[in-house]
Structure 1
Amino acid sequence: MDSANEVLHDFFPMFRVLKGGQVERLMGNDVVPASLDPATGVQSKDVSINADSGVSVRLYVPKAADPAHKLPLLIYFHGGGFVVETAASPAYHNHLNNLAAEANVVVVSVDYRRAPEHPLPIAYEDSWDAVKWVASQSSGEEPWLNEYADFERVFFAGDSAGANLAHNMAIRVGLENPDGFNLEGIVLVHSYFWGKEPVGGEPVEPEHRVLIEKLWVYTCPGSSGTDDPFMNPGCDPRISGLGCKRVLIFVAEQDLLKHRGLYYKEVLERSGWGGKVEVVETRDENHVFHLFNSATENAKSLVKTFAGFMNEGKSG
């Protein structure tokens, strides 16, 4: 066997790295083009926002969009451990078509560069570039945003690693207060957070914690470990400055990461942040269940609750 094809790092079932440096992704490789979705009437298109980095976004506009009635704007970050999946993955494309239609919102889905070829914090920097690009479109030239989006009602959201990104982008909004939009709230679905010490009902046995710890350090080689503020909001002294006033957290009963979602609520409430945070738990479900089968009642309920959060207090 060619030694270059021997497995050097194995992160089954997500990916593995060969001795020759090749990254083999074992999931999340399928893509679908942007299009008009016949089921929802939602239109989508891809837009390059940085020619040097290759970062792009996929925009979604619902069928009912009307320039006379501007719609909430959602910036969405996909999950996949910072390693697998893209904004063009079928599961995310389907989910955001459904969400844009249910909530009647404009969506910007960020296609950031992935580890390990582009180690963290590159995904954070790409995501911040996307946030700044969206803010610039409040007086910019992208017609779908300029015509249909209400930049006073902006939300960040994501699932798993994407929820981690949404939180960290909201922290940065609080620090830098960029012009061009108002961040009203964030939605964190099955957040990919962790820490050195177990919280809540997390397993304490090393064998149940080692995969997440190894994955984080491998994808973020400059990190001090899982108590890095990027990964553990409880270790971030900036948490009280989270740049929004409403947070919705989804957890799934059978998800190993459930306890981190509950802990996030505790951390926010005791930080002095002063906003409103809510947790919704889905019984009998596991991590990102809604992406695998969007037709279940639990998946539909998650989308409806998500949509209701973005439309809370909406007038007109």
Structure 2
Amino acid sequence: MMPRPDARSGAGQPPPGASPEDAAAYKSLSLVANPDGSITRINQPPTLPANPDPESDPTAVALSKDVPLNPARNTSIRLFRPTAPPAAGKLPLIIYFHGGGFILLSAATLFFHKSSSRLAARLPAVVASVEYRLAPEHRLPAAYDDAMDAINWAKTEAIAAAAGGCAAAADPWLKELADFSRIFLMGSSAGGNMVYHAALRAVDLDLRPAEIVGLIMNEAFFGGVGRTESEVEHNDDVLVPSHVTDLLWSLALPAGADRGHVYCDAAATAGDERIRRLPASMVAGYTGDPLVDRQRELAKLLEERGVKVTRRFVDGGCHAIELFEKEYSDKLFDDVKDFVCSVGGDRMLGKAAANL
């Protein structure tokens, strides 16, 4: 696996008048501030093309292809399927949101592409990795809006698959393999934040015949005006020290909003009655991550509202380590598989009981 990025070194150019902390963060993230408020992203990780052809790489554990999502927003989905799916039965559909602090990276970024491929093969599952719009060109809630497009896309595909030849053709991979009654929203870092906010919106939607049955929030990126103990203790983290996360939030949140905003601080959503209607949720993280206290607070908030929560906090590690060290990715995928099977098992028992 490739080395973990180091936010202590980089090249970038802050806007005029930036604070020393913001200037350091621009340089660490290799961002150039443009006069119109946009940014130029330099020295970014490599990307990989989709590979739908099983003959082009006999060693590939999963096939992939890009499908349009919302052409007006220039969004898309990179779809992954195992090269050797089980002979019988259909697979859960994982709608996945990548990390990057809402301002960086892509579904095609090398480590996200490889991670999604391994996830599809290991569970196994069909994985729909969403290429959503980035801030500051598209500030929040743009990413949440794109997440909802992906959820509604799944509903449309489910309707098409159920209708057979009587409606618009479903994607052949989805029609063959996807169980639309077992959809999971999964995201890492900023993607974990997206899972939470998209799921809150989705509880008020009629998605039939599709159904979201579980949420997987890995190292979810949340913040707040004050500092938590873990943010203070691990402020020398090479990827997400506080001056870097502060800049990410300043670029991602609506103009004029501070880190007390509901998009940033999960505690600010505590009064939202929709929380109690969320499906079973897995909240995962590492004790060496500066953001771990925020993730624990999220798990506690969900539990207090009656949500069935599976906590998976691993001793040690650091933010995004599973993308760069196989030991941690194997552990995460095993935990995800256990969670998906547990939710699926509950549902199958319920279906059996209904038929008695």
* Residues 64 and 81 in structure 2, CA contact (< 8 A), matched pair in contact too: yes
Give the Å deviation of 1:200. 5.3
Q: Distance in 1 between matches of 2:273 and 2:220?
A: 16
User: RMSD value over aligned CA atoms?
Assistant: 2.6
193-202 vs 96-105, greater mean Cα deviation: 193-202
Instruction: Give aligned-pair identity as a percent.
Output: 29
Select the residue among 99, 106, 113 that pairs with 1:86: 106
Amino acid across the alignment from 2:182? R
* Residues 233 and 290 in structure 2, CA contact (< 8 A), matched pair in contact too: no
The equivalences for 1:1-316 within 5 A come to 7-8=14-15, 10=23, 11-21=26-36, 23-26=39-42, 28-35=44-51, 36=54, 38-65=58-85, 69-140=89-160, 141-199=170-228, 201-203=230-232, 209-222=242-255, 224-236=257-269, 237-238=271-272, 240-241=274-275, 243-270=277-304, 272=305, 274-293=306-325, 295=326, 297-312=327-342, 314=344
The structure whose Rg is larger is: 2
Q: Distance in 1 between matches of 2:328 and 2:243?
A: 30
* Residues 99 and 307 in structure 1, CA contact (< 8 A), matched pair in contact too: no
Q: Distance in 1 between matches of 2:174 and 2:285?
A: 31
Q: Distance in 1 between matches of 2:210 and 2:182?
A: 8
Q: Distance in 1 between matches of 2:58 and 2:297?
A: 40
Q: Decide whether aligned partners of structure 1 residues 148 and 18 sit closer, same or farther in structure 2, where only a CA change above 3 A counts.
A: same
Please state which structure has a larger fraction of its residues in helix: 2
TM score, norm. by length of structure 2: 0.79
TM score, norm. by length of structure 1: 0.88
Q: Distance in 2 between matches of 1:139 and 1:51?
A: 21
Q: Distance in 2 between matches of 1:234 and 1:27?
A: 35
Amino acid across the alignment from 1:153? R
180-189 vs 28-37, greater mean Cα deviation: 28-37
Q: Decide whether aligned partners of structure 1 residues 27 and 176 sit closer, same or farther in structure 2, where only a CA change above 3 A counts.
A: farther
Q: Decide whether aligned partners of structure 1 residues 201 and 42 sit closer, same or farther in structure 2, where only a CA change above 3 A counts.
A: closer
Determine the structure 1 residue equivalent to 2:167: none
* Residues 126 and 177 in structure 2, CA contact (< 8 A), matched pair in contact too: yes
Gaps of 5+ in 2: 1-11, 161-169, 349-356
- What is the DSSP-based 3-state SS (H/G/I as helix, E as strand, rest coil) of the residue aligned with 1:192? coil
Amino acid across the alignment from 1:254? G
How many residues align structurally? 308
233-242 vs 256-265, greater mean Cα deviation: 233-242
Amino acid across the alignment from 1:180? P
Give the Å deviation of 1:66. 5.9
* Residues 174 and 242 in structure 1, CA contact (< 8 A), matched pair in contact too: no
Amino acid across the alignment from 1:57? I
Give the Å deviation of 1:17. 2.9
Gaps of 5+ in 1: none
* Residues 119 and 221 in structure 1, CA contact (< 8 A), matched pair in contact too: yes
Q: Distance in 1 between matches of 2:275 and 2:122?
A: 31
- What is the DSSP-based 3-state SS (H/G/I as helix, E as strand, rest coil) of the residue aligned with 2:28? coil
Give CA-to-partner distance per residue, 1:24-82, whole Å, 9 cap, x none. 32454421011146445311100012221111000111134368511111000000001
Give the Å deviation of 1:281. 1.7
